[in-house]
Amino acid sequence: MTRYPDIALEGARVLVTGAGRGIGRATANAFAARGADVALADLDRGAVEHAAAGIGTAHVLDVRSRTAWDACVADVGAIDILVNNAGVMPVGGFLDEPDATGEMTIDVNVWGPIHGMRAVVPGMIGRGRGHVVNVASLAGKIAIPGLAVYNASKFAAVGLSATARLEFADHGVSVSTVLPSAVRTTLTSGIPLGKGLPTVDPEDIADAIVRTVRTRRAETPVPGYLAALDVGLAVAPERLVRWIRRAVGGERALTRVDPTARADYDARLRRDENRGEQTGQPNSTPCARGSSSE
């Protein structure tokens, strides 16, 4: 097993993306509570400035943009721990999803971590230590009808993390993947939770992310017992897997979405999608530092 240089949380510089709400905000709070120097990044200026108040610095960042990443890293400074958490989850049938929505999903969920690691990891390698956490999903291991492109993006994130982990290990830099089950955030608005997978809170994911700094585990599912489910589904016959899904309601969960309850989240996705369309590409938004009150 590779031995990585220790990273003390007290005084460590941590950059968390998607930190304006949900898992990202909970993660920033968890690191700040342990004495870390936390930089919170999000596309939503108002949300990230509110989240950063009293615990760290706020940065407006479109993770789809390599240029924005480079500017943000220059602003934040030497980063000890990078948490690639920003993500989007459109829901609907594969053939019904607009191309632009699928492209945004891949841009945020796949290119976001790619750009982030390429912007941050060279500095970590130069210092001989660092830790990256890519927040994927159990949907990166288990197919879920109604989430085809999201599934694809999270499967990609899992593979990306596994390969980067191998490439960076000899340089003192570890890469861990955290795999949440269904989480009570705006991401799951309007979706009947508790169907097929257990439901957890953002703080549960934040605690798991912080633990990876100590354990440096390659993969951490939340809840932890779902590791056995992943292995079991991989070797079980397809007929048995489909029977289990039907028995727990897993195949119906995303066909019974409440569009009214999900309206605010979908509207935010369209706003984010349009930011790229207005300039002809999704990677034109620069990083800008927001003001955060102490």
Q: Give strand pairing partners of 225.
A: none
CA distance linking residue 129 with residue 12, whole number of Å = 12
CA distance linking residue 275 with residue 255, whole number of Å = 29
Per-residue pLDDT of the chain (294 residues; tens, 9 = 90+): 678 999 999 999 999 999 999 999 999 999 999 999 999 999 999 999 999 999 999 999 999 999 999 999 999 999 999 999 999 988 888 999 999 999 999 999 999 999 999 999 999 999 999 999 999 998 898 888 888 999 999 999 999 999 999 999 999 999 999 999 876 555 554 455 555 567 788 999 999 999 999 999 999 998 665 655 655 555 567 666 565 555 444 555 555 666 665 666 666 666 767 664 433 344 334 566 653 333
According to the 3-state scheme, what is the secondary structure of 109-128? HHHHHHHHHHHHHHHHHHHC
List of domains in the chain: 13-279 (3.40.50.720)
Q: Give the pLDDT of residue 246.
A: 57
Q: Which residues contact 240 (CB under 8 A, 6 or more apart)?
A: none
Q: Give the pLDDT of residue 199.
A: 78
**Is 150 annotated in the active site?**
yes
Q: Which residues contact 47 (CB under 8 A, 6 or more apart)?
A: 20, 21
Q: Which of 4, 150, 225, 265 is catalytic?
A: 150
**Token pair in block for residue 131:** 């830790």
pTM for this entry:
0.84
